[in-house]
Chain A
Amino acid sequence: MGVQKMASVKPVVWSLIWLAIILLVLFVMVSNVLAQEPTPASSEVTDDQVNAIAKQLFCPVCENIPLDVCPTQACAQWRDLIREKLAAGWNERQIKNYFVEQYGARVLGAPPAKGINWLVYIVPPIAILGGIIVLYRALRSWKAPAGFSAAVSGQTGHVESTALPSDEYVRQLEEELRKRD
Chain B
Amino acid sequence: MVANFGYGALVIAFLISLYGVFAAIYGVRQKAPAWVESARIAMLLTWPLITLSALSIIFLLVNNHYEMEYVTSVTSNSMPFYLKVTALWGGQAGSLIFWSWLMSAFASAVTLRKWERDREFLPWVIVVSLVTLAFFILLSLFVENPFERLWLAPSGEIAPAMFQPAGATLFTPQDGQGLNPLLRHPGMIIHPPMLYLGFVAFVIPYAFAMAALITGRTDDRWIRITRRWSLVAWLFLSLGLILGGRWAYDVLGWGGYWGWDPVEIAAFMPWLTGTAFLHSVMIQEKRGLMKHWNMVLIILTYDLVIFGTFLTRSGVLSSVHAFAQSAIGPLFFSFIGLTFVTSLALLLHRWNELKAEGEMTSVFSREALFLLNNLLFMGILVVCFWGVIFPLVSEALGIVGQNVPALANIFTGQKVTVGPPYYERATAPLFAGLLFLMGIAPLSAWRLSTARTLGRAAWKPLIVSLVIVVIVFALGTRQWAALLGFWLCSFVSAVTLYEFWRGSMARHRKSGESLPVALWHLAGRNRRRYGGYTIHLGVVLMAIGIIGIEIFQTETQGTIPVGGQLSLGQYTIHYDSLANFDYADGRNVSRAVVSVYKNGNYVGELHPRRDYYYESQQPMTIPGVRSTMEDDFYLLLVDWQPISTQSATFKIYLNPLVNWLWLGGIVFILGTLIAAWPDKDPEPVVVEKRSPQVAQARI
Contact = CB atoms under 8 A, between A and B. Distances in A.
Nearest to A130: B382
Contacts of A123: 382, 386
A135 interface: yes
A121 B451 CA distance: 35
Contacts of B421: 34, 56, 109-110
Interface in A25-57: 26-27, 29-31, 33-35, 46-48, 51, 56
B371 interface: yes
Contacts of A82: none
A135 B456 contact: no
A64 B423 CA distance: 13
A180 B379 CA distance: 33
A143 B359 contact: yes
A156 interface: yes
A181 interface: yes
A144 to B, nearest CB: 6
Given A34-B421, A123-B386, A131-B378, A69 B414 contact: no
B361 A144 contact: yes
A89 interface: no
A11 interface: yes
Given A34-B425, A155-B699, A132 B649 contact: no
A13 to B, nearest CB: 9
B684 interface: yes
A101 B481 CA distance: 35
Contacts of B429: 23, 26-27, 30
A96 B620 CA distance: 28
Contact of A119 (B252, B362, B390, B503): B390
Contacts, number: 207
A145 B479 CA distance: 48
Contacts of A135: 371-372, 375
A29 B482 CA distance: 11
Given A120-B418, A152-B361, A177-B525, A33 B480 contact: yes
A133 to B, nearest CB: 11
Interface in A130-181: 131-132, 135, 138-139, 142-145, 148, 151-152, 155-156, 159-160, 165, 169-170, 172-174, 176-177, 180-181
A116 interface: yes
Contacts of B255: 69
B401 to A, nearest CB: 9
A170 B433 contact: no
Contacts of A120: 386-387, 390, 416, 418, 422
Contacts of B528: 181
Interface string B422-460: 101110111011001000000001001011110011000
Interface of A: 11-12, 15, 19, 22-23, 26-27, 29-31, 33-35, 46-48, 51, 56, 58, 63-64, 66, 68-69, 71, 76, 104-111, 115-117, 119-121, 123-124, 127-128, 131-132, 135, 138-139, 142-145, 148, 151-152, 155-156, 159-160, 165, 169-170, 172-174, 176-177, 180-181
19 contacts: A11-B451, A15-B364, A22-B433, A48-B558, A66-B419, A115-B410, A116-B411, A124-B382, A124-B383, A127-B379, A128-B379, A131-B375, A131-B382, A135-B371, A144-B359, A152-B450, A155-B699, A165-B456, A173-B503
Interface of B: 252-255, 259, 261-262, 289, 317-318, 356, 359-364, 368, 371-372, 375, 378-379, 382-383, 386-387, 390-391, 393-394, 397, 409-412, 414-422, 424-426, 428-430, 432-433, 436, 445, 448, 450-453, 456-457, 479-481, 484, 502-503, 506, 509-510, 522, 525-529, 551, 555-559, 619-621, 639, 649, 651, 684, 686, 699
Q: Which 9 A-B pairs have the closest CB atoms?
A: A26-B429, A47-B557, A142-B360, A69-B254, A109-B419, A111-B416, A30-B428, A110-B422, A27-B429
